Amino acid sequence: MNTRALTAALAILALSACATPARMHTDAQLNAIALGCGLSLGELIQDDSEKRLLLTMRSDPSLQQRICVVRWARRNGLKAVFLDIKYPEG
């Protein structure tokens, strides 16, 4: 195989990897990841309109929790987003 063909094949492979659509994870999968990262049930969500975002709904997650969520998100082609939720006291 010549250099041009190899370069073209690698370019096509790289572009096709970027074009894979994000998949929706089930609530059970997200809850298992949340518990594994030290979060509570329901604190990790994916929205149908922005499938590539993994939303973390927790006030002040620890550094270890953030790292855990970010690593899992990256491995699954998602972007971790941390929402700073302030619940009213009372």
pLDDT digits (tens, 9 = 90+) for 8-64: 666 665 555 555 567 899 999 999 999 999 999 999 999 889 999 999 998 889 999
pLDDT of res. 73: 95
Sequence-distant (6+) residues with CB within 8 A of 80 are 54, 56, 66, 69, 70, 73, 74
pTM listed for this prediction: 0.72
Mean pLDDT of 61-73: 96
Name the burial class of residue 76, with classes exposed (0-12), middle (13-18) and buried (19+) by CB atoms within 10 angstroms of its CB. Answer: middle
Return the structure tokens found at 64: 């270890």
User: SS3 for 16?
Assistant: helix
**Domain assignments of the chain as residue spans, ordered by start:** 21-83
